[in-house]
Chain A
Amino acid sequence: MTTGNHNHTHARRPDWAALAVAVVLSAIAAVIFFDVNRLESSGGYSGIGPATVPEVIAFCLVGLAIWTVVAAFRGDFPEREHQEFPPVIWIVGGLAAQMLLLTTAGFSIATGILFAMTAAGFGKRKLWISIPAGIALAFVVWIAFAQLLQLSLPAGPLERLFF
């Protein structure tokens, strides 16, 4: 869902981002209809089965999508502030890197990289300082939570070196 990624400094008609929201809402409704279609529709005593409530929600989503289209053409959405994308990409990249590295590199290294890339998103681009600092901090956090509070945080080569 990257529907808000258009830069609107002043309201334009129609509001394309809002129209994109309407499309997404309809898509969610379509997925719900498609999925509950395979469920058995026997409602038992209540007359409503497992598919009924999802169908009602999907109908409401379609209604909201139509309402959103109307609002988009009338320019009812508030003005959006200018968004800068490089910071967003840094942070999303950091989260993705942590997700992919977590099981192989362990908590400290993966989270240290997330830490450094988030800081980079906010303008601290000296990665040769922030990555080691992040890994050190994450390692302290790992000791506190995995050793003292016994949460199951994945260990990697760095953690196994010490424990």
Chain B
Amino acid sequence: MNTFDFLLQGLAIAAQPINLFYALIGVTLGTLVGVLPGIGPALTVALLLPVTYQLDPAGSLIMFAGIYYGGMYGGSTTSILLNTPGESASIVTALEGNKMARAGRGGPALATAAIGSFVAGLIATIALAFIAPFVVKFALAFGPREYFALMVLAFVTVSAAFGDSTLRGLTSLFIGLALAIIGIDQLTGQTRMSFGIPDLLDGIEVTTLAVAMFAIGETLYVAAQGSRAPEKVEAVKGSLWMTKKDWARSWKPWLRGTAIGFPIGAMPAGGADVSSFLSYSAEKQFSKHPEEFGKGAIEGVAGPEAANNASAAGTLVPLLTLGLPTTATAAIMLAGFQQFGLQPGPLLFATNPQLVWGLIASLLIANFMLLVLNLPLIGLWVRLLTIPKPWLYAGILMFATLGTIGANPSVFELGMLLAFGLLGYVMRVMGYPIAPVVVGLILGPMAEQQLRRALSISQGDPTVLVSSPIAATLLVLAVLALVVPLIMRARGRGEVLSQVAGAED
């Protein structure tokens, strides 16, 4: 069977009424939560994970796909109508989109974001479907040492390559790695760092850590700013529809954004932030109206929004084919797979093709649903933005703790939630990025396992790690990704890197 057959088979699975229903719930909840200010896709996915606990794996992952795309879409609404983007990938959208909204062109801004997201999501999801089998074939040749090298590369790109400080990125990563030691060693069964506390034997849940650092850390941080800078929601004035000129100015940025976003997401090289920033500067170069940039240029919304969605689909390539999460959102999605004992990777395509292709097909369906759902419901999403902060954050914490209690109703788990929430707050105040902690926690044990396997095979000879061309290349790339930004920052060229980084993606 070729890709096309598999995709059709997947569509048949995803089009079953019950699965359509799950996808609909997923996109609705995803948009609903993603629209709330201060909640990015990573937190959206983490908060909504418990909703999927009671479903079967296929239904749960289909709902998850909807939540993921819905959360991405919801964030752009927030950043256009409110100048505080709910997700860092939308920061660029806020630059132009908010200016458009202030000029009474909020409708076309939202429309170009929605249609651009749709176009990008469609192309990128199809690209995912056609590229994934090739990556899988390639990945079958991967042994432990190649996986280890790949994970080292992911560690470096997530923590040190972007952002404004190598030191703080690496510190965040190593905090995550240190937390990952806690629990039972997978190879020998000995307990590590659990100090005789039974609750720690299973290690630290990725979802607990992510919810604590993103939801509680963010709430504490926003609360500690006091009542400074009241935010103003821009009303959507005028027509919601794009004029002919808007269409003419939007379609090329959509396609360019997709072309930039998908490869960046598909490589283990960080997430949506980088691609939306690159797309923004590309549009600025190509535009016939460069003077409008900074004052509400529609290209500056269309391109980055498409790039950000294409890259979201792109991150699913390493996640599904290699089991390698490259963003915090992907790390939580991996945790979503693991709750069913599923390990994404080349084997999953062989052992459970219905599941993988059903998931890819439901991404396509979720994408259509979002387009249909979002344009008419825009009034409802706008009203969500006007929820006063006290009730909004009180509600966020209610659902954040609900997820943890639902997964494990223990006082100890809530204590960890509080402790990591405080850690997340302090890290935010000090300017440490959050995503590397989450990625370190989930990838740390996987990298350790691959390293020890590789060394077992070679009977302890460490040169085995660099003796395969693929592994050696990946490790060289990792070293470059660590050293080049250090040199750039030392020479005062660091602003470029800090602009493309965000706290969360």
Give chain A's interface secondary structure class. Answer: helix
Minimum C-beta distance from A163 to chain B (A): 16
Tell me if B406 counts as interface (CB < 8 A to partner A).
yes
Contacts of B216 in A (CB 8 A): 91, 95
For the side of the interface on B, what is the size category?
Answer: 35 or more
Tally of contacts, chain A with chain B, CB under 8 A: 204
Contacts of A107 in B (CB 8 A): 405
User: Given A84-B226, A88-B425, are A118 and B181 also a contact pair (CB < 8 Å)?
Assistant: no
Tell me if B205 counts as interface (CB < 8 A to partner A).
no
Q: Do B185 and A50 touch across chains, with their CB atoms under 8 A apart? A: yes
For the complex, what is the distance from the CA of A18 to the CA of B168, rounded to whole Å? 11
Q: Do B418 and A99 touch across chains, with their CB atoms under 8 A apart? A: yes
CB-based nearest B residue for A115: B394
Q: Do B224 and A95 touch across chains, with their CB atoms under 8 A apart? A: no
A10-34, CB < 8 A from B: 17-18, 21, 25, 28, 31-32
Contacts of B243 in A (CB 8 A): none
For the complex, what is the distance from the CA of A86 to the CA of B167, rounded to whole Å? 31
Q: Do B50 and A138 touch across chains, with their CB atoms under 8 A apart? A: no
Q: Do B170 and A116 touch across chains, with their CB atoms under 8 A apart? A: no
Q: Do A46 and B430 touch across chains, with their CB atoms under 8 A apart? A: no
Contacts of B192 in A (CB 8 A): 35-36, 39, 50, 54
Tell me if A4 counts as interface (CB < 8 A to partner B).
yes
Give chain B's interface secondary structure class. Answer: helix
For the side of the interface on A, what is the size category?
Answer: 35 or more
For the complex, what is the distance from the CA of A94 to the CA of B414, rounded to whole Å? 12
CB-based nearest B residue for A60: B174
Contact of A138 among B51, B223, B398, B429 (CB under 8 A): B398
Minimum C-beta distance from A89 to chain B (A): 10
Q: Do B174 and A88 touch across chains, with their CB atoms under 8 A apart? A: no
Contacts of A81 in B (CB 8 A): 225, 429
CB-based nearest A residue for B166: A67
Tell me if B285 counts as interface (CB < 8 A to partner A).
no
Tell me if B460 counts as interface (CB < 8 A to partner A).
yes
Q: Do B417 and A116 touch across chains, with their CB atoms under 8 A apart? A: no
A44-99, CB < 8 A from B: 44-50, 53-54, 57-58, 60-61, 64, 67-68, 71, 76-78, 80-81, 83-85, 87-88, 90-92, 94-96, 98-99
User: Given A46-B460, A64-B171, A114-B397, are A83 and B224 also a contact pair (CB < 8 Å)?
Assistant: yes
Minimum C-beta distance from B150 to chain A (A): 17
Q: Do A154 and B188 touch across chains, with their CB atoms under 8 A apart? A: no
Contacts of A54 in B (CB 8 A): 181, 192-193
Give the most central of A50, A92, A111, A123: most B CB within 10 Å.
A50
Q: Please list the residues of chain B having a beta carbon within 8 angstroms of any beta carbon in chain A.
A: 50-51, 53-54, 164-165, 167, 170-171, 174-175, 177-178, 181, 185, 187-188, 190, 192-193, 195, 216, 219-220, 223-227, 389-391, 393-395, 397-399, 401-402, 405-406, 409, 411, 414-415, 417-418, 421-423, 425-427, 429-431, 448, 451-453, 455-456, 459-460
* Beyond known contacts A81-B225, A92-B220: 5 more, CB 8 A cutoff: A17-B430, A64-B171, A118-B394, A121-B390, A122-B389
Q: Please list the residues of chain A having a beta carbon within 8 angstroms of any beta carbon in chain B.
A: 1-5, 17-18, 21, 25, 28, 31-32, 35-36, 39-40, 43-50, 53-54, 57-58, 60-61, 64, 67-68, 71, 76-78, 80-81, 83-85, 87-88, 90-92, 94-96, 98-100, 102-103, 107, 111, 114-116, 118-124, 130, 134, 137-138, 141, 145, 149-154
Interface CB pairs A-B, < 8 A, 11? A21-B430, A48-B460, A57-B178, A61-B174, A84-B225, A84-B226, A87-B220, A99-B418, A114-B398, A115-B397, A151-B405
